[in-house]
Chain A
Amino acid sequence: MKLRDVDVAVIGAGPAGLAAAIKAKEAGASNVIVMERTEQMGGLLHQCVHNGFGLFYFNEDLTGPEYAHRFIEKAIDTGVKALLETMVTEISPDREIKAVSREAGFITFKPKAIVLAMGCREKTRGALGIPGTRPAGIFTAGTAQRLVNIEGYVPGRRVVILGSGDIGMIMARRLTLEGAKVEAVVEILPYTGGLIRNEVQCLHDFDISPLLKHTVTQIHGEQRIEAVTIAQVDESKRPVAGTERIIQCDTLLLSVGLIPENELSLMAGVKIDPITAGPIVDEMRQTSIPGIFAGGNVVHVHDLVDNVSWESELAGQSAARFASGVKAVEGKVRLRAGKNIRYIVPQTISGQSEVTLYMRVSEMEENVHLQIGDILSRGLRVVKPSEMLKIELSSEHLKRIKEGTTEIIINCEKRRRKQ
């Protein structure tokens, strides 16, 4: 395949990129490539040795590597070409890609369509501004996961984990199974930040009680971390004076947030949603630039890889159609986040095809009413920011959209008790 003949170029060969590329081939694109900066396809799935993947997509309980294997095999079978150890350094608004690799050197070409599937990165100590010294022994949870599960090192034996999101909880279990002692899991909110399944199977199973409404206020140790100071926080998440105490440790893991990696998207001039930090997309996952599509964590951070795959398939399919000259239906209806809704993806819909809406709430609430304009209403027993909501709009629902509607507001409010 010559680069100038590429129909669809997918940036990233993690679960999002692979799903998009496979679907692009299935949708009829002849020349589809994935451009991946590491030495293999599969992305971060390789370091996720735990199970819980594919429960919905495959109806099986798979580990990360097993989930990756399925998509890698399918990609190869369907004829997706992989440019590995290839780093895309630039994407221009008119879809020119510049990349560099050991083998190919410096390459530049213009595919007919691009799918952005770069995933996300972790929030750092530097960005949080945790006070104290700058010793060795501080890692984000994902980096620690790579060290433990791929490189073959256990960073330390007395670990404090800041943040009880899924990756933090998963690493609490993983490190315990590798012989380390998790001294504390510190969480700023009054509830854990991940799936309840992980709270039980990663914390309770190992007698780890998360310290809720606490945060790390100082790091100690000059060469290697020696301890952290933790303190209780008030409703505004500010440390309460007098509640400080010291926890000795030799390692600090940070699981404090994931941010879509949109450096290339910004270069291409794609419009970014300030709340998701990802591209604004329509139901076919086209960004504000025709011919540039996006799917997976680069659009918004998912909880389940199953949804990453489904979403990215939309992007891949659309990219293939675009490459063959089919014009996409414009998204005329803007979806707006109302009460207790943090964001919705896609940000716009056409109102003419069935569509799945993904959204997150801002705060945890029980017994709520989810109201999508006046076209759909659903009661939910509990909603949590860390558990993405998935709502399917069927053609029945779409029929209720009034002619000329340009905006639908989505609200999530506490249900009023029936008399």
Chain B
Amino acid sequence: MTTKEKIICVGCPMGCRVTLTISNREVMAVDGNKCKQGEKYVLEEYHNPVRILTTTLLTQGSSQRLLPVRTAKPIPKAKMMSAVRILAKVRVKPPIKIGEVVAAKPSGIEVDVMATADLLS
């Protein structure tokens, strides 16, 4: 049985609406993309959609209330909400430098979480 899956390619402003024909979880055909990079993108997006997660962490002992952070690598799209719930419990203390790992591969996230700004005091 074949099914169709629609994915918008965000590789360029064109935003081609690409249709994948799927059979047994395998991609049989890709239609609607206007370039090769687009095909590559939608295949990756179908098999394993991932996103860089950016958010903030609450601080302790700092005049700055929040520290902006990002995951060092993209994480599965489906795990974004559970990831922010996990990170909501994390507290960070100064001094922290931009780029520092503030949470090393937390369970449930499995990638490092890095500071994207200094937290000096």
Contacts and interface: CB of A to CB of B under 8 A. Distances in A.
Contacts of B8: 196, 199-200, 204
Interface in B1-44: 8, 10, 13-15, 34
A100 to B, nearest CB: 24
Given A150-B65, A152-B65, A177-B80, A201 B51 contact: yes
Interface in B103-121: 116-118
B76 to A, nearest CB: 12
Contacts of A65: 68, 98, 116-117
Contacts, number: 71
A177 B66 contact: no
Given A49-B56, A149-B66, A69 B117 contact: yes
A150 B117 contact: no
Nearest to B51: A201
Interface of A is mostly: helix
B51 A205 contact: yes
Contact of B58 (A51, A62, A152, A196): A152
A203 to B, nearest CB: 11
Contact of B84 (A69, A148, A177, A205): A177
A413 interface: no
Chain A CB within 10 A, most for which of B55, B66, B68, B84: B68
A50 interface: yes
Contact of A382 (B13, B58, B116): B13
Contacts of B10: 196-197, 200-201
Given A63-B116, A66-B116, A49 B34 contact: no
A20 B47 CA distance: 44
Nearest to B15: A196
B91 interface: no
Interface string A186-200: 000000000111011
A199 B8 CA distance: 9
B31 to A, nearest CB: 17
